[in-house]
A and B are shown apart, each in its own frame.
Chain A
Amino acid sequence: MNDHKKSRAGGNFLQILRIREFGAIVGIAIFFVIFSVISDRFVTIDNLTTTFTMASELGIIAIGVTMLMISGEFDLSVGAAFAVGPMIFAIMINNGVNEFLAIAVALALGAGIGFANGVITIRTGIPSFITTLGMMMFWRGILLAVTGGFPIMLQRNIPLLKYLGGRVAGGLRYSALWFIVLAFVFWIILERTRYGNWNFATGGNIGASKALGIPTTRVKLVNFMICSALAVFAGLTTFARFKIVDPTLGQEMELEAIASAVMGGTLLTGGYGSIFGAFIGALMISMVRNGLVLAGAPAYWYRAFIGVILIIAAVINARIRKKVAG
């Protein structure tokens, strides 16, 4: 227990390390400096706003994924939900359905996918990794079956879409504003509400939570629903930008969302994490993609690079966490 003495001596330093997003903040700052040195086009309003907008569609998914991961579960089907939402929306619009109704149905379908993920996982006790992997395959199959492999195009002009993914100014789109709002809302929910407290507890020690009367099943179920609904919402913002939905839209997005969460300090095994961290994680992924392009690196390098960053980030975050949280 000599940790006690250490923690007293280095109190201030520990207080800084206790900021769960510490690693991510330092990381993104480093990349920011590197890319601004490499390319003088990097630090321009236009490029930064574009980078941020690109981060938003991933980041909105990452918010839900982070909530769910903190409660100790996992969702591999968010990429599929990301495509299914806009597909349903597009089909309904093309068949003359009111756009508000279409959005509501798409979001409800998202929540429904999450509900199914949650109920199957909790009732049967199989790992959510498997449940959601199956769910991902199922919806990918449905997407291909319904579209025949061809993209679905929007056949009507829907002004409402402007407020999902249209331009605000320069490279900044409404999706970026939604990202900020949603990140803030879920940050409050996680850090400053009773639900957030229960979320950490459920993932941290489910036995203790149950013994203390925390409704862990409900917490997980709600998280699954939030996660899928946010994925659908993110898909709709992307759709608002392209007005077209490809059945392969959002493939591997589930992995990037998990990567964002992990870079932001969230623990794969639950009980620890941060919405603000995921926010920065998504931003970091987008920034690296953008920075490498500007640096003239071939596009293929981006994935390799993200892979390396992910591992390094996970290692550093684990080290810091051992110091402050055990």
Chain B
Amino acid sequence: MSEEIVAMRDIKKSFGRVQALKGVDFRVKKNEIVGLLGDNGAGKSTLIKILVGYYQPDHGEIFFDGKKVKFRSPWDSRRLGIETVYQDLALVNLMPLWRNFFLGREMIKKIGPINYIEHRKMKRIAIEALKQVGISLRSPDETVAFMSGGERQAVAIARAIHFGAKLLILDEPTAALSVGETKMVLEHILKAKERGISVIFITHNIYHVYEVADRLVLLEHGEKIGDYRKKDVTPKEVMDIIAAAAGVK
């Protein structure tokens, strides 16, 4: 029925006396890349964490793929196809690539009470899936700690695509990357879109998201202060709106 993959309505959330979100509406259409922008503490992360079930909203409702949902944990939302790539929380550095790739989604064979993991199959598939998105890695046994920031983002995005995510959420994916690596990650994002995946791209840097976004949503002090199709605004205008709302003169 719906052409919206996500619709969040009138979301409110407080932490103690701090009202992090004051009734936010947020929508993402199918196959759309939305840039979610705002200064630090604007409520971007809180909004996303509510969407994936990390926090529960105090008020408001959430629809995913046309159905009303109440996620109690990130596990619930992941099962329905919402994949989140957090800045520092995407991969476990000390673990080998193949274990990371399947983390929480291990391929298992039930042997009595034991959930035996099919490690050979997992290693092979991890390498193949990465090759498909244009990343060739040396060994599935290599730990993630040795990969560059860009490679890590790419692995996390490839993982999301592989597991058939419908919505990919990227939290500051380019924050710590070099120019070249940023370009690479943006290409991966466009590739994800080509495969019909919707993307939410959280950042406080308009220039990183402007190139790939279809729509830009601006948050400030827990309120939505703007929702633009990209072609209607310039990066400079967006910056000015955010700065004005944040009280910078």
A interface residues with partner B (beta carbon < 8 Å):
1, 3-4, 7-8, 11, 15, 18, 188-189, 192-198, 200-201, 204-205, 207-215, 267, 271-272, 324-326
Contacts and interface: CB of A to CB of B under 8 A. Distances in A.
A272 B74 CA distance: 25
A188 B95 contact: no
B72 to A, nearest CB: 11
Given A200-B95, A213-B73, A271-B94, A192 B78 contact: no
Nearest to B115: A194
A197 B143 contact: no
Contacts of A188: 114
A16 to B, nearest CB: 12
Task: Pick from A4, A194, A200, A212 the residue with the most CB of B within 10 Å.
Answer: A212
B103 A209 contact: yes
Contacts of B14: none
B90 interface: yes
B92 A213 contact: no
Interface in B30-80: 54, 73-76, 78
A209 B92 contact: yes
A325 B145 contact: yes
A252 B85 CA distance: 44
Interface residues of B, number: 36
A214 B103 contact: yes
Contact of A195 (B76, B91, B115): B115
A198 B139 CA distance: 21
B194 to A, nearest CB: 25
Nearest to B99: A197
Task: Pick from B75, B102, B106, B146 the residue with the most CB of A within 10 Å.
Answer: B146
A27 B146 CA distance: 27
A209 B119 CA distance: 19
B114 A193 contact: yes
B145 A201 contact: no
- Closest A-B pairs by Cβ, 8 of them: A326-B145, A213-B75, A204-B92, A208-B89, A194-B115, A212-B104, A205-B92, A271-B94
Given A7-B142, A326-B93, A212 B74 contact: yes
B117 interface: yes
Contact of A326 (B94, B99, B141): B94
Contact of A197 (B78, B86, B91, B117): B117
Contact of A213 (B78, B86, B117, B148): B78
B108 interface: yes
Given A18-B141, A197-B106, A208-B88, 11 more contacts: A194-B106, A197-B102, A200-B94, A200-B99, A205-B93, A205-B94, A208-B91, A211-B84, A212-B104, A213-B73, A271-B94
Task: Pick from A3, A196, A197, A200 the residue with the most CB of B within 10 Å.
Answer: A197
A194 B99 CA distance: 10
Interface in B124-156: 138-139, 141-146, 148
